[in-house]
Chains A and B, each alone.
Chain A
Amino acid sequence: MAVPLGAFIAVSAVLFFIGTAGVLVRRNAVVILMSVELMLNATNLALVAFSRRYSSIDERGSVFVVFIFVVAAAEVAVGLAIVLSAYRNKPTVDVDEIRQMRG
């Protein structure tokens, strides 16, 4: 008995929504970045699952996943650079407190 594709999709969906909850609920900017990484991982899982099951010649889903890896790495680097610059300005990473440009 092998694992049905739907099970992988369900896991991917659950992980994606855990990441979304993290982004919406936590106050610490670094934890928000971590939750975004969880969401990206969930999409990677879904893409690779579909690609392995339905692609006949080439693995286009996996190719897309390679590019998602690249973009995720770049995004974490720049995101952390921004968080560190903001921390240097006012020593907090609490997104509720970084509100000088508000309104």
Chain B
Amino acid sequence: MFDLVEPALFAILTIAIVAAGVGVVLANRITTSALLMAFTFLNVAGMFVLLGAETIAMFQVLIYVGAITVLILYGVMFTPQSPRPYGLFFQGQKFWAALLVVPIGIVVAIVGSLGFHDSATVAAKGGDLVPLATSVFRDFAFPFEVASVLLLAAMVGAIVLVKRDEE
């Protein structure tokens, strides 16, 4: 009976991810989109836990739900728009975009899943904390430093862009 726990959890998380993702794209109000996006992030973190990558799951929640969602909410709060009629909701190219995306998406999903029958949730490797830490700080120490410089540049750039000129 306990063998069905993993597929059941996977099914629930998949339905939640797809439904929330479609909700982000199609929601009428932008605040609903933002919260559904946070919900998608939480469900993707659940997928990571299912795969046994719990450190990555914690980072996902910490960075995406804790920081990026707050940033997006700030962006939503500071750019209020007057409500528009629903008919002008999508851009002019909506028909062609939908036509291209949906079939290609279905084809990629099916083809991508055909080649890999091995089980992914082989949790016999004792978590991913130690291998991840040794990789990041030993083999990839230089990209790690470059990433910190990137974050510094992004922080300074964002502050400079938003600063008002004091006249």
Q: What is the interface of chain A, defined by CB distance below 8 A to chain B? A: 1-22, 24-28, 30-31, 33-35, 37-38, 41, 44-45, 48-49, 51-53, 55, 57-60, 62-63, 65-67, 69-78, 80-85, 87, 92-96
Contacts and interface: CB of A to CB of B under 8 A. Distances in A.
Interface string B34-56: 10010011001001101111011
B37 A27 contact: no
A45 B10 contact: no
* Chief secondary structure at chain A's binding surface: helix
12 contacts: A3-B7, A6-B115, A10-B110, A12-B112, A14-B18, A18-B105, A37-B41, A44-B56, A60-B135, A63-B140, A66-B56, A70-B150
Interface residues of B, number: 89
B115 A27 contact: no
Specify which of B56, B67, B135 lies most central, judged by the most chain A CB atoms within 10 Å of its CB: B56
Pick the 6 closest A-B CB pairs, nearest first.
A17-B105, A6-B113, A74-B154, A24-B97, A2-B119, A81-B161
Interface residues of chain B: helix, strand, loop or mixed (majority): helix
Interface string B64-103: 1001100110111011010000001111111001100110
Nearest to B111: A13
Interface of B: 3-4, 6-7, 10, 14, 17-18, 21-22, 24-25, 30, 33-34, 37, 40-41, 44, 47-48, 50-53, 55-56, 59-60, 63-64, 67-68, 71-72, 74-76, 78-79, 81, 88-94, 97-98, 101-102, 104-105, 108-110, 112-122, 125, 128, 131-132, 134-136, 139-140, 143, 147, 150-151, 153-155, 157-159, 161-162
Given A15-B17, A45-B44, A63-B135, A76 B72 contact: yes
Contact of B155 (A4, A19, A75, A77): A77
Nearest to B114: A6
A45 B122 CA distance: 16
B59 A4 contact: no
A19 B50 contact: no
Contacts of A78: 154, 157-158, 161
Given A9-B112, A9-B116, A65-B56, A22 B25 contact: yes
